[in-house]
Structures are given as C-alpha cells and as structure tokens.
Structure 1
Amino acid sequence: MSNENLTALSQAGCSIWLDDLSRERLTSGNLAELIADWNVTGVTTNPTIFAGALSKGASYDEQVRELAARGADTDATIREVTTTDVRNACDVFRDVYAATDGVDGRVSIEVDPRLAFETEKTVAEALDLWKTVDRPNLLVKIPATKEGLPAITRTLAEGVSVNVTLIFSVERYQGVMNAFIDGLEQAKANGHDLRTIHSVASFFVSRVDTEIDKRLDAIGTDEAKALRGQAAVANARLAFAEYERAFSGPRWEALVADGARAQRPLWASTGVKDPAYKDTLYVDELVVANTVNTMPEKTLHAVADHGKIDGDKVTGREQEAREVFGKLAAVGIDLDDVFQVLETEGVDKFEKSWVELLETVTNQLAQAKG
C-alpha cells in the first residue's frame, strides 16, 4: 500500500522523515508500518519528544527497573533509554539506509541542550553518542548556535554524521554550510572516507511565522496584516537559494571528487501552529528535490489525505521571497531580532524539556527502587 500524495512528495525528491520516536512505536511495529506504507524514510528526535515519550505509558518501566537495580543515576538512565530507542530505530531503518546508499534511513539524536553554548562539551558528547549508539545510519544533532558551529566542524572532522538543528536565519545557515564544508575538508585530511559522512541542516519553518505574525498583529496596519503567513516559506526559499550557491564551485567540487555529498536542507517544525492556515502549508509550499521534510504524524496524515503536491515550489523563487522580506522590513519588522529571539527560545524550550525529562526519570527511578 502506498499513498498517492506521499509517493508524489518522495518522487519529487523530498524525503519524508517522522518527527517522533518512542518505545511504543518500536515495539508495536508502528514504525515499520510507517516505512512500509507511508513512505517514511527517517526519524528525528529531540528532548521534547523524549520527555513526552517517557512520561506516557509503561513502555520504559522494565528498563528503568533494571537500571535502578544496577544503581544507575538519572543522567545514565536517560542516556541508556534514549540511545536504546535510537539504536533500535536505526536497525528498523537499516534496509532503507542500504537501499538509498546511506542518504536516507537516518535516525537523529540530540546532544544535551544544556551544552548549546559550550563548544568543547558539545564535541565530547557528540562523539560519545556516536560511539554509544554504534550505528552507521545515526545523525548526531548539534544546535546551530555560534558556539555550535565549530563543534559541527570538529565532529564532522572525526567522521561523524551530523544533523544541524535550530537554524532560523539564512545568515546562520550560511555559517552552518561553511562549518560543514570545513568539517569535510578536515575529515579528508584525517583520512576519513567522505562517502560515509552525511549531514542535514534543519531549517525551522513554522516558528518563523508564529513570531513574525505576532509582531505583524501588534503593528496592526492593513499592510502588516496582509503579510501574515508569508515569512516562513519565503525564509526557507531564500535558504534553498543559498544551498544551491554553497554547493557549487571549485572548493566543493574538489570534495565531490572524493565522494562528498551535499548537506541537504531539512525543513523542520513543519506542523502548522495557526489554525487559520492550511495544515499542510509547510509541506505543499516547500516541495523541492534534495531536501527532507520532517513532520509530526498528524501532519503526515494530513498530507496523505489532502496535501497538494504539485511540483517544485522552491527553485527560482528567490526574488519573490526577497520581496516578502522587503515588505516585512518596510512595515517595521526587525528580522535580526526575530531570529535571535527564535534561537534563544528554541534552546530554552529544549533545555526546559530536558529538565522535565530529568524530573520524570528521577521519579521513575525512585519508584523502581521502592
């Protein structure tokens, strides 16, 4: 069984990844079903997803009891539980990984978000996660903070595949791509096979509209209100234009000759938050080859049911997107401030989820110990 809309999205060159993972999905066969019947070719996780998974149901109780009996503390328990889920998911996707020559079949796990502004500790944790999961189809997620950029380069230089997360601005995205290319050059110098190193850059979408729409509403003019719901798609289209520029020219071609693959843009945060907008907006309008769209299951089902997959909606639309940004600036939107606020809030949100995860696991360990 295969859905027409999801198949069309895949055939357009946009890989469908699920933005969710839990022990229940793994043990029930749900994840395998999504691969077989829903064109899902990868999974992304984050602290919020794991916090939600561990707070619901009894799927983790047995493992937590075993870890409690061994005297594991909260941090060790979280590491064991989350890496177990990710390792098992990597195994479920192993056939997809093989069939796509490593491009898809990927599962992501994020470094501790409390390290987002600490380069050295981020690198150490990224390498430890890579070794702990011990699967070639893993992607280690590193946030695209200023401190994260050198961590991305150094992690890639060790031959580790990376998912760069929390990218909001085109300017920061340019820095991410530079960090990626620097990392591959260093990996080559270190003797790593570039064919085995993969990366995606998670460019967040819906949160851009959420923040800018709020500011447009506060401005309150007709000109401002007319721009609601346009910023996020325009921002992603500008990002894709930069992607096309970054992965061309002599420097990049020299790496391609050694087997390098471009770092694909990944459209993240594609679940629509404003009910006034079509619930498949950030899928329908961002169809383009050589990308990934990671979506919650609710969005996946919506696309399958009533998505409008109608060819490439991104290539060649840079000027149109720039005009949108020009209009936003003209009505008083401070775009630099928008992107700084979004990055700060993004890190804070994941850190808060990590604290919730710590509290949940601490309580579960206490109960297991009686």
Structure 2
Amino acid sequence: MADNLKDLSDAGVSIWLDDLSRERLDSGNLAGLIRDDHVVGVTTNPTIFAGALADGEAYDPQVRELAARGASLEQAVRELTTTDVRNACDLFRDVHAATDGVDGRVSIEVSPALAKDTEATAAEAADLWKTVDRPNLLVKIPATVEGLPAITRTLAEGISVNVTLIFSVERYRAVMDAYLEGLEQAKANGHALADIHSVASFFVSRVDSEVDKRLEAIGSPEALALRGQAAVANARLAYAAFEETFAGERWEALAAAGARKQRPLWASTGVKNPDYSDTMYVDQLVVADTVNTMPEKTLRAVADHGKIAGDKVTGTAQEAGEVYAKLSSVGIDVDDVYLTLENEGVEKFEKSWDELLDSVKGQLANAK
C-alpha cells in the first residue's frame, strides 16, 4: 500500500497540521498524527481558536479557574490559547530535537487587530514568545506593509517568526528582505543565528478563489480556460524567488554565521472548488525545503489518493509566468487581486478574533 504522506515527507516537504484544539491534545489525536502520519508541526490562527473554543467542553475546567480568580477577558483568551500552544510545543519536543530545530514547530498569531500597527505587533510578538516560553514556537506576524518592520524587529530579538498572509511574489520578496535584515540585526545583537527559524506562509487556494471569480465574470472562452491555474503558478513563482534570494551574497554571509533559510510554507491548501482535485495544492507543489500546512481533511485525502510524483516546482517559473501573462491579457488586474486578498484576510481574522472574544466572554460569565 502506498504511503503518500511518507513520500511527501521524503520529497522534502514538511507536513504540518493546520489545526489545534484542547480536544486534539487531550484525546491523543495529535500525538497519533505525529506517530502515524508524518505530521511534524502545527499552525494556528484566530479562526482555528474561535472554532476550538466554541466547540465542546474541553476548555471548561480552565475557564472555571480563570473566572474564579477574576481574569479579564483578554487575560483569559491569552491563557487559553497559549496553554494549547505550549502543550503542543511540548508534544513536538522530540521532533524538534530530531530535526535540529527545523520542524516540531507550533505557531501562534499576534492579534489581527494589530495588523496595521508596527509597534504593537512587535510588542505582542515579544510577549507571546515570553508567555509560551518554548524554543519551538513560531510567532505569526502578517505580511502587511506595517508588519514588515515588526518582522525585522522581532527576529532581531532572537524570536522565531512565521510570516503569514502572503499573496504576491512582490510582497514575498519584501518578506525575505525583512528576514535577512532581521538576521543581520540579530547577529549584531549577539544572538545565535542557528537558533532563529522562520517560514513564510504563502496562501494558495484563496488566490484561485478570487481569480476564478473574476475570470467567470469576464466569461470569455480564453478567460474560462485559465480557471484553477493562478494559485499553483503563483506559488511556483514564489519558490523561484526563494531560490534566487537564498543563493545571493547577502544570504551566504549570514549562512556562514549559522543562519537558516526561511522556508516557503504553502498555506490555505484545502481545496475550495469541488470541481478540482482535493489534493491539487499538495500534489502540484511538491518541492524540497518547503512546508505544506493542511487541514486534517486534506491530510486524509492526500493519504488516501494523493499523487505524489516528485518535484513539481523546480524549473517551472517560466511556465508559471506565462500563466500570469495570460491572466493579464484577458483583463485580470493581479495587483488588485492581491490587495483584495490581503484586506479580506485581515478582516476575516479580525472577525474570528471577535468571535473568539465573544465565546470566551460568554463562557466566563456562565462559569461564575
């Protein structure tokens, strides 16, 4: 029987689960995924935590304890979420050690309400790092214009970062520049570069959702023929930018001092269009030095019927560029697509954060 997840891992793709909850931790589900399904990391976001806190009773004992000591709403949310992340970090301790710190990583995101505030983002990133207090944590910071200097500042303090909500290759290049600058400052600050890790989360499925909607509005045969091609092409162009950046003189100087590459992470890899293969954002983005973080539904689909057939990315930049040339020729404003997706991404996470606050507020009230 084929072991698609092993094949994916052997191809150099780190498999991370895009989900975390107290129930997963307490039931042994996450431990089983690590043991049996080659899962070597976890990502979270406000939407994931909002769903976890609203579902089930696993958080009730801690909520009662928080209510009994009069914790504020903000304190309660911070303690509930960082407890899950800290416990997950501990669960991945052996993976972290076995991979020299590359994997065994768990991510937690700064409040999305701070996405346009550099100072507040950097301050919260430092506070989350201190609160979780685990070396295999990644603090997620969105790749907004305001987030870029916060990324640099956070790395400069020796804090490992997951840069999230990246949609365009242009912004991705700015993210990599912020990473290199952060490492340079960290070195000047006396931090060991080998201890600083980072991934750059490049969102995939949302690109197809937005571009396909616009192609269908155009409606010409040429436009409709391009559906389902934008997201994979975009990711392949991003990987070409990664290869270029992490082969230059600036990077080589940092590598000589022990620095690690900031790996591309394929995020939002659950397929939203039922007309497409439910494993396409895994099968078509196999390449070494990457992470694919996927919901369990996608993980199970890949295990069952994924088509893992080696490197599908290296050397594809020209073909991917041709896809974008065709998109422009039929009337797709790709810059507007990226701006729309970034704004929507921040808004969705802000809405989820508000839902999380409302859920915890109600639970605290009921516990009193």
Q: Same fold (TM over 0.5)?
A: yes
- Correspondence 1:185 to 2:191: no
Deviation at 1:118, TM superposition (A): 0.1
1:3–1:38 CA contact under 8 A, matched in 2: no
Equivalent residue number for residue 115 of structure 1: 114
**% identical equivalent positions:** 76
1:257 aligns with 2:253: no
Contact kept, 8 Å, 1:123 with 1:151, in 2: the verdict is: yes
Query: Which secondary structure state, in structure 2, belongs to the residue aligned with residue 182 of structure 1?
Result: helix
Normalised TM-score (structure 2): 0.99
Aligned-partner Cα distance in 2 for 1:56–1:318 = 43
Q: CA deviation at 1:248?
A: 1.2
How much has 1:147 moved relative to structure 2?
0.1
Q: Matched residues in 2 for 1:90 and 1:249: separation?
A: 33
Q: Structure 1 counterpart of 2:261, which letter? A: A
- Superposition RMSD in Å: 0.7
- 2:265 equivalent in structure 1: 266
Could you say which residue in structure 2 is the equivalent of 1:131? Answer: 130
- Helix, strand or coil at the partner of 2:40: strand
- Confirm whether residue 338 of structure 1 aligns to residue 306 of structure 2: no
Alignment partner, residue 315 of structure 2 = 316
Deviation of the 1:3 alpha carbon: 6.5
Instruction: Show the 5 A alignment for 1:92-103.
Output: 92-103=91-102
| 1:65 and 1:368 in contact (8 A); partners too | yes
Shift of 1:128: 0.2
- Structure 2 unaligned runs (5+)? none
- Letter in structure 2 aligned against 1:245: E
The answer to whether 1:88 aligns with 2:90 is: no
> Secondary structure of 1:201's match?
strand
Amino acid at match of 1:314: V
Cα distance in 1, alignment partners of residues 200 and 2 from structure 2: 27
User: What per-residue deviation string (whole Å, max 9, x for no partner) do you get for residues 136-183 of structure 1?
Assistant: 000000000000000000000000000000000000000000000000
TM-aligned CA deviation for residue 9 of structure 1:
0.2
Distance 2:291 2:266 in 1: 6
In the TM superposition, what are the counterparts of 1:1-370 in structure 2 within 5 Å?
4-369=3-368
Q: Name the CA distance, whole Å, in 1 between partners of 2:356 and 2:114.
A: 16
CA distance in 2, matches of 1:106, 1:305: 25
For 1:284 and 1:294, the matched residues in 2 are separated by: 13
Distance 2:218 2:353 in 1: 35
Measured against aligned partners, the alpha-carbon deviations of 1:195-236 in whole angstroms (never above 9, x if no partner) come to: 000000000000000000000000000000000000000000
The Cα of 1:339 is off from its aligned counterpart by: 0.2
* Displacement of 1:249: 1.9
SS of the aligned residue for 1:131 comes to helix
Equivalents in 2 of 1:246, 1:141: separation in Å?
21
Counterpart Cα distance in 2 of 1:318 and 1:104: 27
4+ residue stretches of structure 1 with deviation over 6 A? none
Number of aligned residue pairs: 368
Q: CA deviation at 1:251?
A: 1.1
Contact 1:3 1:37 (C-alpha < 8 Å) held by counterparts: no
Distance, in Å, in 2 between the alignment partners of 1:64 and 1:135 is: 23
**Contact 1:162 1:199 (8 Å CA) reproduced:** yes
Distance 1:99 1:111 in 2: 28
Name the amino acid aligned to 2:236: R
Pairwise CA distance, 1:73: 1.1
CA distance in 2 between counterparts of 1:249 and 1:118 reads 31
Which whole-Å CA distance do the structure 2 matches of 1:80 and 1:249 have between them? Answer: 42
Counterpart code for 2:197: H
* Inter-CA distance 3–162: structure 2 relative to 1 (3 Å threshold): farther
Distance 1:363 1:32 in 2: 31
CA contact (8 A) 1:84 1:133 kept: yes
Specify the SS of the correspondent of 1:163. Answer: strand
The normalised TM-score by structure 1 is 0.99
Say which SS state the counterpart of residue 363 (structure 1) adopts: helix
